[in-house]
C-alpha cells in the first residue's frame, strides 16, 4: 500500500511546482520580448473617442481631463466623453464646466438612472458614440487614471498594423506619497503587467486589456458586438478574449505609461481583487471551449497560455494539494518527505531569485521605491524557508548553535515541529493572510496600519492567493454580483 | 498639445530608442539567468 502511495504523494507534492515553472516560463518569455517584437516606426493618429465612466468622481475628474487635453496627439483627432452614471456629487458640474471650456473636445453624457455598474455605464456612452460614427478607435479608461503625454500615440501606432485589434498600456501605481500597500501593488504590477504582458505579447495571446487603458479598433469593437460584456465581473477580459477569437491581435505597449490610484489598505484591496477573482472564475467557465484547443482558439488555446492562466487561477488548489501531500508523505516516510520538500523549495529559491531580480531589472525606477516589498513579497516566513532551502547548514548548524548558546537544546521534537510548520506553510500562509484581512476590517481605520507588519511577515503573495480562494467560494455560493467602486482620493500626484 | 512627433523621423527615432531599451533588458535578463545558474551550481557543489 505504502509503495503505491509514495510515488503518488511525491507527484502531488510537486504539483506545487506548477506555479513556479509557470513563473519562470513567463519571465523567460518576457526576456525574449526584445528579440520577438519590434516597435512600429510610423506615427498613426486615428480618430479616438475616449470613454470615461464616472460615478462621483469629483475628486479626480478635472485633473484626468486636463491630462487628456495635454496628450501629444492631434487635437482634432480626440474626443472625450465622460459618461456620468447619475453622480450625486460635483462631477456633473465640473465636467460641464470643462466641456464649456473645450467645446467639441469634451462631452458630458448623463445617465439619470444609474447604479447598474461600470459596464452598463460604458455601454451607454458606446451607443451614443457609435451612433455619431465619428470614431475610428475607442479608448476606455477609468476616471482617475493619468495618461502620460506620449502614451496614447504610442498605443495607436500599433493600430497601423491591420492585424492588431486592441492595445493596452502599462498601468503603474501612482499614489504619492504612497503607503506600504501602494508599494506592494507597485511591485505586483511590475510582475503582473510589465513582465507578464510582455510575455503574452511574445506568446501572441493576451489575457486582459488593463481596465484603465483599453484601446479598441472600431472593427474589433463591432466584432465583439459593439458593447462591453455585462454578464460577468471581468468585462475587460471578456473583451480581450473576444477580440482575439475574432481573429485580431491584442498588444501590450510597455512604453505607454498610465498612472492609477490603487487601494491603500487590505480591506480595500480585498474588495477590488475579489471582484477580479470572481470575474476570472466566470471567464474561465464561459470560455471553457478554448482552453488547450489550439485549433479552435489559436494561441489562446496553446499550452503556454493555459499554463500562465491556470497557474494563477488554480494557485490555491496547487498549494493545498502540495502541503497536504507533504504531510501525508511524512507519516509514511519522513526522510523522503524531507527530500521532496527540499526539492520543491529549492525550485522556489530559483523562481524567487529569477522573478524578483528580473522585476527589478524590468522597471528599475519602481524597484528603487519598492525593493523591500519586492524582497518580502512572499512574506518573511516564506523567505526564511527559502533561505533554508538555499543553504540548509545555515539553520542546521549556525542557528542551532545560536540556540544552544542561548541555553535552548534544539532536540528532535523542536526540529520536527519546525519542519511540519514549514510543510503546511504553503497553505497556512493563505489562512494567515485571511486572518490579517479579518483583523484589518475589524480595526478602526486609524489603527489599520498595525496590520502592515503582519502582512510583511505573512506575505502579499499569500494574500492574493487567499483572495483567489475566496473568489471560488463566493462564486460557488452564487453570491450577488456587485460593483464595489474602489475609493479614489486624487492621491496620484503630478506624475509624468 | 505639445511636442507632437508628426515627422516620420521623430517617430522612428523614438521607436528605435524603445527597441534599444528592450534589448538592454534582454541582456540584463541574460546576466540574471547566468547568476542564478552559478548560484544553483554552488549550492549543488557545497550542500
What is the per-residue pLDDT across A138-165, written as a single tens digit (0 to 9) for each? 999 999 999 999 999 999 999 999 999 9
Q: Give ipTM to 2 decimals.
A: 0.89
Say if the Cβ atoms of A391 and B15 lie within 8 Å. Answer: no
How many other C-beta atoms are found inside a 10 Å radius of the C-beta of residue A304?
Answer: 18
Instruction: Answer whether residue A117 shows pLDDT above 90.
Output: no
Report yes or no: B9 at the A interface, CB cutoff 8 Å. Answer: no
**CA–CA min distance B19, chain A (Å):** 6
Chain B interface, best mutation among A25, A31, A197, by max B CB count within 10 A: A31
Chain B residues with CB-CB distance to A390 below 8 A: 39, 43
**In the predicted model, is pLDDT for residue A293 greater than 60?**
yes
CA distance to A118, A123, A228, per residue, from A56 (Å):
12, 18, 21
Closest Cα of chain A to B18: distance in Å?
7
**pLDDT for residue A485 is more than 80:** no
Nearest to A34 among B14, B23, B46 (CB): B23
CA distances from A102 to A66, A69, A151 (A): 11, 9, 21
Biggest CA–CA distance in chain B, Å, is: 61
Residue ranges of domains in chain A, CATH in brackets: 2-18+310-400+409-476 (no CATH), 37-264 (3.90.550.10)
Q: What is the DSSP letter of B7?
A: S
Smallest CA–CA distance from B46 into chain A, residue: A391
Phi, psi of A6, rounded to the nearest 5 degrees: -55, -55
**Mean of pLDDT values over A283-292:** 96
**CA distance from start to end of chain A:** 65
**Do the beta carbons of residue A169 and residue A484 sit within 8 Å?**
no
Query: Of the spans A55-59, A405-409, A430-434, which averages the highest pLDDT?
Result: A430-434
Mean per-residue pLDDT, A481-490? 66
**Among residues of chain A, what percentage have pLDDT more than 90?**
84
Per-residue pLDDT at A482 exceeds 80: no
- Chain B touched by A361 (CB under 8 Å): yes
B6 at interface of A, judged by CB pairs closer than 8 A:
yes
Q: Which residue of A has its CA nearest to B2?
A: A72
A24-48: average pLDDT: 95
Per-residue pLDDT at B1:
45
Distance CA A343, CA A256 (A): 40
A287 is written with which cell numbers? 470560455
**pLDDT for position A487:** 67
Contacts of A353 in chain B (CB under 8 A): 32, 36, 39
Strands A48-54 and A137-141: parallel
Inter-chain contact A41–B33, Cβ cutoff 8 Å? no
| pLDDT at residue A492 is higher than 80 | no
Q: Searching chain B, which residue's CA lies closest to the CA of residue A158?
A: B15
The predicted model gives A375-399 an average pLDDT of 90
Query: Along the 47 residues of chain B, how does pLDDT read in single tens digits?
Result: 445 665 566 889 999 999 999 999 999 999 999 999 999 999 888 87
Residue of A41, A68, A199 to mutate for B, most B C-beta atoms under 10 A: A41
Mutate to test the interface with A, among B5, B18, B31 (most CBs of A within 10 A): B18
Residue-wise pLDDT for A9-26, tens only, equals 999 999 999 999 999 999
Residues of B with CB below 8 A from A352's CB? none
Taking the Cβ of residue A353 and every Cβ of chain B, the question of whether any pair is shorter than 8 Å is answered with: yes
Average pLDDT, chain A: 94
pLDDT band, very low/low/confident/very high, at A449 (cuts 50, 70, 90): confident
Is some CB atom of chain B closer than 8 A to the CB atom of A403? no
Q: Is B11 close to A39, i.e. CB distance below 8 A?
A: no
Q: For A393-404, what is the mean pLDDT?
A: 80
Residues of chain A neighbouring B18 (CB-CB closer than 8 A): 39, 255
CB half-sphere exposure, A489, CA atoms < 13 A: 9
The yes-or-no verdict on residue A101 having pLDDT over 80 is yes
Q: Which three cell numbers stand for residue A69?
A: 487635453
Contact: A31, B26; criterion CB under 8 Å = yes
- Whether residue A66 is predicted with pLDDT greater than 60 in this model: the reply is yes
Question: What distances in angstroms separate CA A355 from CA A208, A257, A375, A455, B38, one per listed residue?
Answer: 21, 22, 10, 20, 16
Give per-residue pLDDT as tens, A197-223: 999 999 999 999 999 999 999 999 999
The shortest C-alpha distance from B8 to chain A (Å) reads: 6
Distance from CA of B20 to the nearest CA of A (A): 8
Task: Tell me if B5 and A39 make a contact (CB, 8 A cut-off).
Answer: no
Q: Calculate how close chain B gets to A94, using CA atoms only, in Å.
A: 22
Does residue A172 contact residue A255 with C-beta atoms inside 8 Å? no
Option in A27, A255, A353 nearest B39 (CB): A353
A394 in B contact zone (CB under 8 Å): no
In the block, cell 519586492 appears at A374
pLDDT tens per residue, range A71-98: 999 999 999 999 999 999 999 999 999 9
Amino acid at each position: 500500500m505504502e509503495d503505491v502511495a509514495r510515488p503518488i504523494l511525491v507527484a502531488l507534492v510537486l504539483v506545487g511546482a506548477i506555479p513556479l515553472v509557470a513563473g519562470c516560463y513567463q519571465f523567460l518569455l518576457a526576456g525574449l520580448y526584445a528579440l520577438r517584437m519590434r516597435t512600429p516606426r510610423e506615427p498613426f493618429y486615428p480618430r479616438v473617442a475616449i470613454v470615461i465612466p464616472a460615478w462621483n468622481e469629483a475628486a479626480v475628474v478635472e485633473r484626468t481631463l486636463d491630462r487628456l487635453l495635454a496628450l501629444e496627439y492631434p487635437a482634432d483627432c480626440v474626443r472625450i466623453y465622460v459618461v456620468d452614471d447619475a453622480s450625486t456629487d460635483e462631477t456633473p458640474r465640473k465636467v460641464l464646466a470643462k466641456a464649456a471650456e473645450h467645446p467639441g473636445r469634451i462631452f458630458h453624457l448623463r445617465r439619470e438612472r444609474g447604479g447598474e455598474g461600470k459596464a452598463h455605464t460604458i455601454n451607454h456612452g458606446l451607443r451614443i458614440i457609435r451612433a455619431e460614427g465619428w470614431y475610428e478607435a475607442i479608448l476606455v479608461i477609468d476616471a482617475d487614471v493619468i495618461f502620460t503625454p506620449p502614451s496614447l500615440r504610442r498605443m495607436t501606432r500599433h493600430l497601423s498594423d491591420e492585424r492588431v485589434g486592441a492595445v493596452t498600456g502599462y498601468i503603474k501605481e501612482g499614489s504619492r506619497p504612497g503607503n506600504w500597500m501602494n508599494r506592494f501593488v507597485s511591485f505586483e504590477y511590475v510582475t503582473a503587467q510589465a513582465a507578464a504582458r510582455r510575455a503574452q505579447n511574445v506568446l501572441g495571446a493576451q489575457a486582459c486589456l488593463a481596465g484603465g487603458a483599453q484601446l479598441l479598433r472600431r472593427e474589433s469593437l463591432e466584432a465583439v458586438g459593439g458593447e462591453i460584456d455585462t454578464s460577468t465581473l471581468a468585462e475587460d477580459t471578456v473583451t480581450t478574449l473576444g477580440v482575439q477569437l475574432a481573429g485580431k491581435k491584442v498588444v501590450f505597449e510597455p512604453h505607454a505609461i498610465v498612472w492609477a490610484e490603487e487601494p491603500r489598505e487590505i480591506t480595500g484591496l480585498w474588495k477590488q481583487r475579489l471582484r477580479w477573482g470572481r470575474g476570472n472564475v466566470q471567464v474561465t467557465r464561459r470560455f471553457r471551449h478554448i482552453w488547450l484547443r489550439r485549433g479552435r482558439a489559436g494561441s489562446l488555446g496553446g499550452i503556454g497560455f493555459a499554463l500562465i492562466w491556470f497557474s494563477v487561477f488554480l494557485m490555491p488548489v496547487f498549494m493545498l494539494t502540495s502541503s497536504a501531500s507533504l504531510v501525508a508523505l511524512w507519516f509514511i516516510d519522513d526522510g523522503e518527505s524531507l527530500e521532496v520538500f527540499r526539492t520543491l523549495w529549492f525550485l522556489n529559491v530559483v523562481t524567487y531569485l529569477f522573478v524578483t531580480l528580473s522585476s527589478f531589472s524590468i522597471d528599475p525606477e519602481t524597484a528603487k521605491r519598492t525593493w523591500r516589498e519586492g524582497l518580502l513579497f512572499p512574506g518573511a516566513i516564506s523567505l526564511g524557508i527559502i533561505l533554508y532551502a538555499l543553504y540548509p547548514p545555515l539553520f542546521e548548524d549556525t542557528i542551532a548553535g545560536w540556540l544552544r548558546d542561548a541555553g535552548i537544546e534544539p532536540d528532535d521534537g523542536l526540529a520536527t515541529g519546525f519542519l511540519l510548520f514549514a510543510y503546511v506553510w504553503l497553505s497556512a500562509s493563505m489562512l494567515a493572510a485571511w486572518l490579517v484581512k479579518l483583523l484589518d476590517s475589524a480595526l478602526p481605520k486609524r489603527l489599520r496600519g498595525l496590520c502592515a507588519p503582519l502582512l510583511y511577515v505573512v506575505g502579499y503573495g499569500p494574500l492574493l492567493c487567499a483572495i483567489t480562494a475566496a473568489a471560488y467560494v463566493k462564486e460557488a455560493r452564487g453570491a450577488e454580483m456587485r460593483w464595489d467602486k474602489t475609493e479614489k482620493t486624487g492621491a496620484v500626484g503630478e506624475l509624468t | 498639445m505639445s511636442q507632437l512627433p508628426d515627422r516620420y523621423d521623430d517617430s522612428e527615432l523614438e521607436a528605435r530608442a524603445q527597441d534599444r531599451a528592450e534589448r538592454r533588458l534582454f541582456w540584463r535578463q541574460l546576466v540574471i539567468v547566468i547568476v542564478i545558474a552559478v548560484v544553483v551550481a554552488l549550492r549543488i557543489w557545497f550542500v
